[in-house]
């Protein structure tokens, strides 16, 4: 099993100012990593879809000392609607970022410094009708759900690139597949957010307006699994510590919930509705897509290879997320 001395690391953290990135930074601090050991590239200066920008990032980050670890979180992604509007952009942006970051890390000498590349994947890479719970061995057994396939395929291609670089160049790397994330600092923009932050915002704003009902996409029959953001950050850093090859590893809880039950739970926790009024206050728009029918992960490999498992219960995580949004409405709006 690989080990890691965090105090010796010089880390480039793409997406470090985003939702997951904030929690990765907190996790690094908890492991003894100082701020001057972390470089977070900003898109205004470094467009990571462009080769020259990535070259400049690697040259600028730590001067002649150079980075010893790349944690690549940056992505262009959204919910079902955003994926349907931007399939070309989502494929190009996510593929280009991984392509340039991995290749330029090789050219920059990451391998000679015994460094490591950590890539976050997505469960959107799984085939549409993968048997539940999803096992990492099923990743190639079919085509992804059509509404998010370009994004999922781009992320899966990054995994294959790391696997090829391990075989040919002996590059150390790790590849994790987090399930749907939620928690403080999530994206609450209704045009691009995922289901939990969107529902929280819709319920609270509907209450503010005094709306009698809430309209929700689909039929509610699809199921999903969710991972609290702090657990995900811990899983990624555990992979960085313990993995040297890009064996795909699911990060999740192995707890499945239907969208209908999720909507009801969030409506109750936000106090938009109670048990007696929930059915009449939620209206389903069945003309809109449900997305992939089911998502639930087999997380036994994470336990076996990394001795990792999630710690935060789902209802506890939802309560913490709702409380954060109520107390940070201005911060959430600023992110939009």
Indicate which residues carry an active-site annotation.
Answer: 151
315 contact partners, CB below 8 Å, separation of at least 6: 265, 269
In the three-class reduction of DSSP (H, G, I as helix; E, B as strand; rest coil), residue 291 is classed as coil
Number of Cα atoms under 13 Å in the Cβ half of residue 34: 4
- DSSP letter string over 100-145? HHHHHHHHTTTTTTT-EEEEE--GGGSBTTPPSSB-GGGTTSSPBP
285 contact partners, CB below 8 Å, separation of at least 6: 215, 216, 217, 218
Question: 31 is written with which tokens?
Answer: 């492991």
Rounded to whole angstroms, how far apart are CA atoms 65 and 201?
A: 45
Contact status, residue 244 vs residue 2, Cβ threshold 8 Å: yes
Question: 200 is written with which tokens?
Answer: 């929280």
Rounded to whole angstroms, how far apart are CA atoms 26 and 21?
A: 9
Which residues face 223 on adjacent strands? Answer: 258
How is residue 290 annotated by DSSP? Answer: -
Residue 280 phi, psi dihedral angles, 5° rounding: -80, -20
Q: E strands within the chain?
A: 11-14, 38-39, 69-72, 116-120, 172-178, 180-182, 214-217, 223-224, 226-228, 248-251, 257-258, 282-285
């Amino acid at each position: 099993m690989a080990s890691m001395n965090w105090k010796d690391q010089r880390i480039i953290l793409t997406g470090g100012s985003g939702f997951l990135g904030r929690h990765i930074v907190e996790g690094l601090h908890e492991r003894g990593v100082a701020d001057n050991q972390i470089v977070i590239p900003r898109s205004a200066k470094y467009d990571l879809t462009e080769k020259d920008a990535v070259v400049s990032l690697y040259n600028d980050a730590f001067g002649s000392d150079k980075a010893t670890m790349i944690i690549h979180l940056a992505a262009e992604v959204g919910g079902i609607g955003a994926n349907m509007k931007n399939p070309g952009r989502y494929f190009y942006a996510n593929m280009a970022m991984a392509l340039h970051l991995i290749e330029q890390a090789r050219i920059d000498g990451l391998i000679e410094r015994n460094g490591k590349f950590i890539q976050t994947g997505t469960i959107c890479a799984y085939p549409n009708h993968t048997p539940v719970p999803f096992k990492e061995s099923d990743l190639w057994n079919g085509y992804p759900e059509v509404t998010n396939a370009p994004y999922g395929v781009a992320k899966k291609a990054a995994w294959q690139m790391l696997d090829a670089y391990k075989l040919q160049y002996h590059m150390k790397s790790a590849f994790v597949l987090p399930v749907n994330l939620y928690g403080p600092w999530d994206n609450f923009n209704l045009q691009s957010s995922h289901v939990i932050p969107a529902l929280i915002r819709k319920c609270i704003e509907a209450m503010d307006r005094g709306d009698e009902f809430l309209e929700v996409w689909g039929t509610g029959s699809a199921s999903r699994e969710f991972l609290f953001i702090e657990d995900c950050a811990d899983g990624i850093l555990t992979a960085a510590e313990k993995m040297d090859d890009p064996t795909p590893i699911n990060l999740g809880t192995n707890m499945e919930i239907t969208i209908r039950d999720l909507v009801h739970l969030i409506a109750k926790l936000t106090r938009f509705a109670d048990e007696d009024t929930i059915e009449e206050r939620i209206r389903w728009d069945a003309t809109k897509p449900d997305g992939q029918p089911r998502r639930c992960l087999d997380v036994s490999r994470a336990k076996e290879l990394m001795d990792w498992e999630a710690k935060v219960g789902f209802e506890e995580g939802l309560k913490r997320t709702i409380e954060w949004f109520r107390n940070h409405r201005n911060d959430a709006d600023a992110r939009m």
